[in-house]
Amino acid sequence: MSFGHRFKRFLFRYSLVPPHKWRPAATVLLAAIFGLGIYLLKLSNAASYLSDDPQACVNCHIMTPQYITWNHSSHREVAHCNDCHVPHDNIANKYFFKAKDGLYHASVFTMRAEPEVIKALGPSIRVIQNNCIRCHEDQVTDAKMVGFVESHKEKRTDRTCWECHRDVPHGRVKSLSATGHQIEPIRAHAPADLEIIPKWLKESMQEKNEPK
């Protein structure tokens, strides 16, 4: 028995095939759902979320303050969003966490339910803390620190790193209405020939610099 015949029997066995009079409508409905799915994947630039590009976080998420503050921090040169915000114990857990977090963020964004100040939730806090230790293990476990830092072991295990390092890497100004907007274009949505400096200003600058 061929695969196609077995698949057809499976559909009929579990009543997954509509009656003849409903089949045209069901076909149109399935095609519409499939087409809308493809359109949403294209519109949201879903493929970018498989990468480590920090701009993926501002494709549609309300993460402009976080992106701007990271972009002006020292971490910009050594760590991107995924270095801190997804687990790195294995690749399956990494992408499972990204998918779970992404679906949650997408639902909040779609419902326009984002808070004025975005804060990490419990699972994210644990991931961020583990990644802080993963990257800064030498500093955290430095035996010399025990000699001149009071209760060094307790302080480095019983608290989160950002209880002390509060300005790393996003600073203290994090609300949606306090950070401003970036002038840097988002590559996923900007045309290839987009320039930050408007044409009229560039022409004015050229005229000013021309010898008289």
DSSP string, 152-195: HHHHHHSS-GGGT-TTTTT-S--STTTS----SPPTTTS-TT--
How is domain 52-205 classified at the architecture level of CATH? Answer: Orthogonal Bundle (1.10)
- Residue 79's pLDDT is 92
CATH 1.10.3820.10 boundaries in the chain: 52-205
- Residue 131's pLDDT is 94
- Residue 32's pLDDT is 95
Q: Is the pTM of this model over 0.85?
A: no
**Tokens linked to 2:** 């061929």
Q: What's the CA gap between 128 and 174, in Å, rounded?
A: 17
Query: Low-confidence residues of the chain, pLDDT below 50?
Result: none
